[in-house]
Amino acid sequence: MTVKPHVMIAEARFYDDIGDLLARGAVEALEEAGATFERIKVPGALEIPPAIAFGANRKEGPPFDAFVALGCVLRGETSHYDIVAGESARALIDLASTYGLPLGNGILTCETRAQALVRADPAGENKGAHAVRAALRLLDIKTVMGL
């Protein structure tokens, strides 16, 4: 893609420390790719899909070319984890597939905080950057397809 893509990062801030690490990795990857971006913060993972839908339909400001979902769901003592992890992922796939949105899913689903920190840390698994690369690759494919 020759034009700099404009990307929306939707960040769940339920776990601020994990969110900060994911965002740092994502921002570094976007800057490295020469993309512009806007960060939209939401309370939790279930609020990410509607925020992305709003961004895809925005009427003012530059349109978004791609989307990145960042957040974390940690297993707790109830079934809430299963609902949040499954429904947020399902909604993101539905948005991407139905509306042709280049979307990278960086919502971590982990058993423990320690697992999440390793996955979020730019010096570790850097899943924020992985989500950006996925979104930008899908944008490339969409462009090649003439969409």
pLDDT exceeds cutoff 90 at 34: yes
**pLDDT attached to residue 1:** 45
Q: Are strands 103-110 and 36-42 parallel, antiparallel or unpaired?
A: unpaired
Whole-number percent of the chain with pLDDT over 90: 95
**pLDDT attached to residue 2:** 58
Provide the CA 42 distance to its chain's centre, in angstroms: 12
Q: Distance (Å, rounded) from C-alpha 76 to C-alpha 113?
A: 11
| CB 74 within 8 Å of CB 85 | no
| CB 14 within 8 Å of CB 142 | no
| CB 11 within 8 Å of CB 71 | yes
Angle formed at CA 117 by CA 101 and CA 51, multiple of 5 degrees: 30
**Once rounded to an integer, what is the mean pLDDT over residues 48-62?**
97
Residues annotated catalytic, as ranges:
80
Q: What is the mean pLDDT of the chain?
A: 96
pLDDT exceeds cutoff 60 at 113: yes
**Once rounded to an integer, what is the mean pLDDT over residues 15-33?**
98
β-strand partners of 70: 11, 106
With cut-offs at 50, 70 and 90, classify the pLDDT of residue 26. very high
Q: What structural domains and CATH numbers belong to the chain?
A: 6-144 (3.40.50.960)
| CB 59 within 8 Å of CB 143 | no
**What's the pTM?**
0.96
